[in-house]
Amino acid sequence: MKEIETTREIIRISHDSVERKEDTIVTEYAVTVKLNGQEFVTMVCSPEYIEDMVIGYLASEGIIKSYNDIKDIWMQEKDGFVHVTTDKTNPYYQNFQNKRYITSCCGMSRQGFVFVNDALTAKKMKEIKITLTPNECFSLMNELQESATVFKQTGGVHSAALCDKNGIILSRMDIGRHNALDKIYGYSLKNGISMDGKIIVFTGRISSEILLKVAKIGCEMILSKSAPTEFALQSAEELGITTVGFIRNEAMNIYTCPDRIIFS
């Protein structure tokens, strides 16, 4: 598998100085998913946890309903293919688009197919199964950022973590924000991790696509150091998801469903 990062010589200009130095750069990897022998989607991502990402993507898009729907999955690493066989696919997926191409720019090339299945796969959070204090929010964000070694070295990836009140259960990084969440979702499906009382902690912007992925995973709260979009907040209100953004320097903004944040 290709390395997650590489180095190259650059020219660094700072104030009045000019110097040649070695810099650490993130790499990209293009992987094409073949579903039952047919090319289905090409994804550009960071080259690790590829199978988990593919499983999470197929589940979040409603192509499969559970990990058990997959009969076989294997990677043809040299040629950049992941082969998935299943006899339990969504019968309508081929009507949406014959093949999709997803860049690392966080879903900008994704088609209307995504929205067709959102109503079927996004889970509405009708109960409050977890609450956090502001200090617990700060602590979870600090833990994620302290563990984000690739970001510290390159500045070129997003990080996401599945957490409970006690800390990080599972964390993943990727050049694509959505890929990091798919990797978490795929691993959780493979290993039967319950989403009750779980939180997504995230370093990137909370777009509508990211909010919907959180709903599909089944988490009732997302914490981010970045900003949300208006459509994401509208979706969060409809789905009952607590969104907290701009968690920085012991401050934060609660945007939706504030009952899960308690003050004591």
Active-site positions?
106
Contact 159, 180 (CB under 8 A): yes
Task: Take residue 162 and report the two structure tokens written for it.
Answer: 């599945």
Q: Which pairs with CB-CB distance under 8 Å and at least 24 residues apart come from 187-195?
A: 187/49, 187/52, 187/56, 188/56, 188/162, 188/217, 189/55, 189/56, 189/59, 189/66, 189/67, 190/52, 190/55, 190/67, 193/162, 193/169, 195/219
State residue 128 phi and psi, 5-degree precision.
-105, 105
Contact 172, 160 (CB under 8 A): yes
State residue 163 phi and psi, 5-degree precision.
-135, 160
